[in-house]
Amino acid sequence: MPGSLSPLARLVTLLAPALAAVALAPSAAAKTIDFEDRGSNLAIANPSSGDPEDFDNDSAHAEAIDFEKLGDNLPIENPSSGNLEYFYNGSSAFRAGDPTDFTTSGATFHNIFSNFGGGCCWQGWAYSQTTDTTTPGFANQYSAIAGSGAFGNATYGVAFTGGQVGAQGPVSRISFDHDVPVLGAFFTNTTYAALSMRDGDSFAKKFGGASGNDPDYFILTITGRDSHGVITGSVDFALADYRFADHALDYIVTDWTFVDLSSLGSVSALEFSLDSSDKAFGFLNTPSYFALDDLVIAHEPGRRDCAPSHSRCPRRRS
């Protein structure tokens, strides 16, 4: 089972798509890279056992930022209904008079909560443990269509960008406490968006239309910004694409999919925006949601920003 992978195996699995992309990228001058020059450092005495080790995992400086520790806060009781809610949307922090943004592993996820009663309404980021993959509509806005987080994680991030064309980036910002090279992340649709695109609803069309031939799309754009706010690059990922000449290839993403973000370089923040073929009056009709998990960042050699308790931090020697 994916959720039972060891921390090392899981980190290797997380990094594999990005490393494969680099390995397959065309290059004007091929260069062979090996580890022979580092071999003279081995064997290294294990400080716990004293035994020599013929490996050095201190050379791995990557961290997957997930939402599992935040999940310890769930469920949260809704004071209006008395129901236990397996998601955080900023409401509980707002009621306590606290900032509604949330932070994990040095990444801060922007949240805007406006109190219209009953725990409504929010924009930006939430985190969730809901698993409903079959119920359509707004009431199921916190579920990933994959039914869990990536690799069977219990908790994952959900973004609602607000859907206003040209104004979604600041709403959905993730900020880092220092510039970090970002390697990639896993994305999927929410159940709300996926079923809306598949079947249509009272606000949005069925993708493909009645004939199945409409060239519909739902595109997520991930933008990097440096510490001065300058854009470092952007990456597009199609959460749904019905633009193929062969409509048998049309798809809506329903699994967690790794997106290589290494072209963004070192960033101080990530911003996210959605575009859809179904929009009107400056807003998307398609529900403006997506889900994220396991955001993989790299650390410079020698940095020690990874919390020792994080399950996928490189092991450190004392």
Q: What is the pLDDT of residues 120-170, one digit of tens each?
A: 899 999 999 999 999 999 999 999 999 999 999 999 999 999 999 999 999
Q: Model confidence over 55-69: pLDDT tens digits?
A: 444 435 789 999 999
- Cis peptide preceding 194, ω within 30 of 0: no
Q: Helix or strand or coil: residue 74? A: coil
What percentage of the chain has pLDDT greater than the value 70? 75
- Nearest Cα residue to 311 out of 10, 59, 47: 10
Q: Give the integer Cα–Cα distance in Å for 21 and 95.
A: 45
Give the pLDDT confidence score for residue 158 in this predicted structure: 98
- Tell me the C-alpha to C-alpha distance, in Å, between residue 126 and each of 11, 87, 106, 243: 24, 7, 17, 31
Q: Helix or strand or coil: residue 307? A: coil
pTM, 2 dp = 0.79
- Nearest Cα residue to 151 out of 291, 292, 5: 5
Q: Give the integer Cα–Cα distance in Å for 49 and 138.
A: 55
pLDDT, average across residues 226-237: 97
Query: pLDDT: is 200 or 29 the higher one?
Result: 200
Residue 82 above 80 pLDDT? yes
Give the pLDDT confidence score for residue 312 in this predicted structure: 41
| Beta-carbon contacts of residue 174 (< 8 Å; ≥ 6 apart) | 107, 108, 109, 110, 125, 269, 270, 271, 295
| Beta-carbon contacts of residue 257 (< 8 Å; ≥ 6 apart) | 186, 187, 188, 237
Query: pLDDT: is 242 or 24 the higher one?
Result: 242
| Least confident residue range of 118-122, 153-157, 241-245, 301-305 | 301-305
Q: What are phi and psi of 275, to 5 degrees?
A: -135, 145
Kindly report the CATH number that applies to the domain delimited by 64-298.
Answer: 2.60.120.1350
Split at pLDDT 50, 70, 90, the class of 50 is low
Mean predicted lDDT score pLDDT of the chain: 83
Residue 264 above 60 pLDDT? yes
Q: What share of the chain is helix, strand, coil (3-state, %, to 5)?
A: 20, 35, 45
Give the pLDDT confidence score for residue 120 in this predicted structure: 81
Q: Helix or strand or coil: residue 40? A: helix
Split at pLDDT 50, 70, 90, the class of 3 is very low
Give the pLDDT confidence score for residue 11 in this predicted structure: 57
Give the pLDDT confidence score for residue 116 in this predicted structure: 78
Q: Give the integer Cα–Cα distance in Å for 272 and 269.
A: 10
Residue 188 above 50 pLDDT? yes
Give the pLDDT confidence score for residue 18 in this predicted structure: 54
Residue 48 above 50 pLDDT? no
Give the pLDDT confidence score for residue 206 in this predicted structure: 98
| Least confident residue range of 61-65, 169-173, 305-309 | 305-309
Q: Give the integer Cα–Cα distance in Å for 168 and 275.
A: 10
Give the pLDDT confidence score for residue 14 in this predicted structure: 63
| Least confident residue range of 67-76, 113-122, 211-220, 309-318 | 309-318
Tokens (6 digits) for 47? 């400080």
pLDDT, average across residues 159-188: 96
Element (H, E) at 17: helix 7-24
Tokens (6 digits) for 275? 């575009």
